[in-house]
Structure 1
Amino acid sequence: MSETSEGLTHAGVVRGLAGAMFRGALIPTVATVVLGVVVFGVLNGVPGALGALVGGLVIIASSLATLWLMHRTAVLEVHFVMAAALGGFMLKMLVLLGVMILLRDVEFLHTNSVAITMVATILVTAAAEARASKRTRTPSVIPAAPGDPA
């Protein structure tokens, strides 16, 4: 990897972004899961609390897998990082669908508590990670159009 004039590498920038996304999403994500456990525990008893906990933990694991993928692919060329991100996203969606299908017949989990907590946690985590990503200063290159002076 070539270094920029500031001494940063592409891998360093990607890893820094992953760290910022983790820190930015940690508190809102955990708060969403705790809120889901409390609300669904009150509404549906122990099965609701357990369902919310399981749903939230599945999404937290999913988010951590994304950040792990960012760390592991950071040293690759940019187009490989993008391909890994797209492939990781598709695989994650299939795994989450499979988990939701498998958990719907588990008797000691309230199905709607699992599903609603999963959706809420996905939305909050994605928004928090996007916000952290936007706030993180990452160097970028804007290529010149053909014919523009360099």
Structure 2
Amino acid sequence: MQVDQRNNPKLLMGIIGGLTVLIALFFAYQWLSSSTDGKSVHQEEMMAAPVKPPVAVPIQTESTPVAETETIKLVEEDILDSAVPENASLAKEEIAKLDDIQQQLNDQEKTLTQQHQDADELIQLKEEQIKLLEAQLAQQVK
């Protein structure tokens, strides 16, 4: 090679660009192959041990009222009758789990109470707005 060819900026940029593309392709292949392997392992675990999904309370809005007779089961009833384990560590885990459930229920109660107050306030504001619009309409009609 001549000295001119070794110091050619186009040649150097081409080599650097080619190496960059090869490295990017390698990492893309690794990322895609690892994500598909992880999904298949995760799917096998999900099929092997079905788990109950957590029960969520739907958010109620004015446009979608829920019937009062419909109840959502937040906690299984058998949890009250189940015996507390005699092993201290298992008992502590059970107590921690029950405390966590109680905390979630308290948080849900606060959220629902706040939503109820917000809905009442919105209803009151809408009633006032309707009264004002009716008064304005009555003035325009006269």
Provide TM-score, normalisation by structure 2.
0.30
Work out which of the two has the higher radius of gyration on C-alpha atoms and give 1 or 2. Answer: 2
Provide TM-score, normalisation by structure 1.
0.29
